[in-house]
Amino acid sequence: METKIMEYILSIAGHKSISRAADELYLTQSALNQQLLKLEKELGAPLFIRTRNHWELTDIGRLYVESAEKIMQIKRQTYKQIEDMAKRWNGTITIGLTPERGIQMFTAIYPKIHAMYPEATFQPLEVSVETQINLLDTHQLDFGFQTIYERKYKHLIYDTIFYEPFYLCVPKSHRLAYQERLTPEEYPVISLGEFKDDLFTLVRKSSTMRVVLDKLFERAGFKPKLLFESISMRTMLQLAKSGECCSVIPRFYASETDDVSYYSLGPEASWELATVHAPNHYINNAARDFISMATHYWKTHLYIE
């Protein structure tokens, strides 16, 4: 499939500059300009409005670029499927991971997946859900693992791994703490309203989990007094262990300990762990096997070790 001229036009459109596009493509500016002029003559219309330092697409140019992007995507997906059928798994699979738990899973299963596909490169990117969405939309990410409270991006495909509850962590020194060690199935349900006078450490405002927590506190009728906000679930658990504050963390981080009491906050205190990918993005055999291994890992490692 010969698509060089499309790559040239997409590069010019992306940089809005023929000189920067020529540098990226390892061509002289003159050679690239000749290719552009030849295409414009063939089409009978200009694709760009040219200025000295800035090139903008014409209406016809935008139509061409939109179609070219679709064709290039079809080419990429076709080549991936051919590689699968020919058993040549030697490309790069880019995987979106949410902080902390994601990289722990990756390091646990990487030796096995690498042994299965020694010629493939598995590239993890530890980024937020919003960043993953942008990378999926621009075809820079093959798939991602996300913790979400709603499937708000309707153009993407989600596959549930499991639904995970959040637990309230209360220091053993707290007046409402129970002293016996209970299993998660035995954690008592409690109202957040009982803790309106307590100090909390919560995950940062920018996180998906915080959206859920803010709604829970709003329903309980108060805004929590914060010691500080953190990006680390382990840090929040450690502060509760040391008696500094209460916190709320997902089940994965709620390891068994004699230093805190865990409480359930009801069915609304939860989120979904899911794989996410674009609908027109081909998931090859190596990627499917990685997703299967990751799913098995998380279903058998419900808590950090």
Q: Domains of the chain (ranges plus CATH)?
A: 4-85 (1.10.10.10), 92-161+272-300 (3.40.190.10), 162-270 (3.40.190.290)
Question: Looking at residue 255, what is its pLDDT?
Answer: 87
What contacts 135, CB < 8 A, 6 or more positions away? Answer: 94, 96, 125, 127, 141, 144
Helix axes 18-25, 29-43, angle to 10 degrees: 110
Say which amino acid occupies 268. Answer: E
Task: Report residue 235 as tokens.
Answer: 């840090």
Question: Looking at residue 281, what is its pLDDT?
Answer: 84
Task: Report residue 164 as tokens.
Answer: 């995970």
Rg of the chain (C-alpha set):
25
Instruction: Indicate the pTM of the whole model.
Output: 0.69
263: how many CB neighbours lie within 10 A of its CB? 25
Phi, psi dihedral angles at 64 (to 5 degrees): -60, -45
DSSP annotation of 176: T
Q: Which of 216, 165, 171 is nearest to 191 (CA)?
A: 216
Phi, psi dihedral angles at 173 (to 5 degrees): -80, -10
Question: Looking at residue 12, what is its pLDDT?
Answer: 92
Strand residues in 79-156 grouped as ranges (E): 92-97, 121-126, 143-148
What contacts 277, CB < 8 A, 6 or more positions away? Answer: 136, 142, 143, 144, 156, 157, 283
Instruction: Say how far apart CA 120 and CA 90 lie, in whole Å.
Output: 4
* Tens digit of pLDDT at every position of the chain (305 positions): 468 899 899 999 999 999 999 999 988 999 999 999 999 999 999 999 998 778 999 999 999 999 998 888 888 777 777 766 555 555 789 999 988 889 999 999 999 999 988 888 999 999 989 899 999 998 899 999 999 999 989 999 999 999 999 999 999 999 999 989 898 989 999 999 999 999 999 999 988 899 999 999 999 999 999 999 998 999 999 999 999 999 999 999 998 888 999 999 999 999 999 999 998 888 888 899 999 999 999 999 887 76
